[in-house]
Amino acid sequence: MRSWERAKLRKAAVRYVEHGWHVLPGAYLVGQHAGRHAKERRFDCGEAGCRTVACHPTAYTPSRSPALVAEWWRVHPYTVLFPTGHAFDVLEVSAALGRAALLGDGFVAARGPVAVAQQKGLTDRWFFLVLPGHGLLPELAQQPDVVLHGQGSWIPAPPSPQFGGRVRWELSPETHGWRPAEPYAVQALMLDAIGAGPLAAAGPRATWRTAA
């Protein structure tokens, strides 16, 4: 089972770098079969004395070399991490806001890859891949549930395992030619979903605050 998981993660990581995206090995999940001893489950980065239990980066440097990436995943089933600030930044939002943005009137023009981190017992987190180097609009910066990942940050990439779930593509990069979305177009849709954008006065619409 572990070798199958490693091969699947390795294949995904190599595919990402072949399209010019940087990846980074993350700590791998151990104790998956702990059963009632679920507290024994943790992410292991291989560093002696590391007490971080949740998903976190290893000491490697991000790369987009297919040969190096294939070698990284030769032994351990590392999670695949996207270091942000290279090919793209990432807008991380709640599942309700993410769904509302996808249903927005203008997402056809703003669309790009979207990943979802599934977490058992916790709210899913949605990741919108956007062109790098742009800040948050002031109205979104005030929202505690919106995080912009830029230079020096990272997110878990599909199909990496998480506690009780896995990261998956909601909208795959192949669908959009491996091109991130226009950041302010996506942010405008989120503002509309919240009810703070220019379309908010156009009439009643579902918002992330009331979405199921």
SS3 for 163? coil
Average pLDDT over the chain, rounded to an integer = 86
Percentages of the chain per state (helix, strand, coil), in multiples of 5: 30, 25, 45
Average pLDDT over residues 190-202: 63
Is residue 39 over pLDDT 70?
Answer: no
pLDDT digits (tens, 9 = 90+) for 44-57: 998 888 999 999 99
Q: Are 161 and 5 in contact (CB under 8 A)?
A: yes
Of 40-54, 117-131, 154-168, 196-210, highest mean pLDDT: 154-168
Exposed e or buried b for every residue in 44-62, given b needs 16+ CB within 10 A?
bbeeeeeeeeebbbbebeb
Q: Write down the pTM of the prediction.
A: 0.86
Is residue 108 over pLDDT 80?
Answer: no
Q: Are 119 and 167 in contact (CB under 8 A)?
A: no
| Edge-to-edge strand ranges of the sheet holding 24-26 | 24-26, 79-83, 154-156
Query: Cβ contacts of residue 191 below 8 Å, gap of 6+?
Result: 137, 139, 140, 197, 200
Tell me the domain boundaries of the chain.
1-80, 84-212
Structure confidence at residue 82 (pLDDT) = 99
DSSP state of 173: G
